[in-house]
Amino acid sequence: MILCRVEGSVVATKKNPKMSGSKLLVVRPLVIDSPSAKEMKPGGSTLVSVDSLGAGEGDCVLVVQGSSARLAADDKDSPVDAVVVGIVDTVDLGKTILYKAH
């Protein structure tokens, strides 16, 4: 699983029929770059993820990729590689809270 921040959405009027009705989000992985980090930082790349939970721009989400994504999409034959499987409330590393939903 990958922690990501929702950056925006994607609209595709023509897509594989198995993707019909799927909400697509642009997400950016979040990284913790040191053991003493006080916050998560945005990674350098983005990816498009299917969202079945209703995440919105700015939300911190859990994303799975590969075969786990196809299983999370409820169709192992779905042409998806990334799916939002959770909307994160808090990221807590010991005594440091790196993220808390607002």
pLDDT tens, position by position, for the chain (102 residues)?
999 999 999 999 898 888 888 899 999 999 988 878 888 999 999 999 999 899 999 999 999 998 777 776 666 777 888 999 999 999 988 778 888 887
Residue 67 Ramachandran class (φ > 0 left, ψ -120 to 50 alpha, else beta): alpha
* Full residue range of the structural domain in which residue 18 is found: 2-100
Cα(31)–Cα(89) distance, integer angstroms: 17
pTM: 0.87
18: domain CATH number is 2.40.50.220
Number of domains in the chain: 1
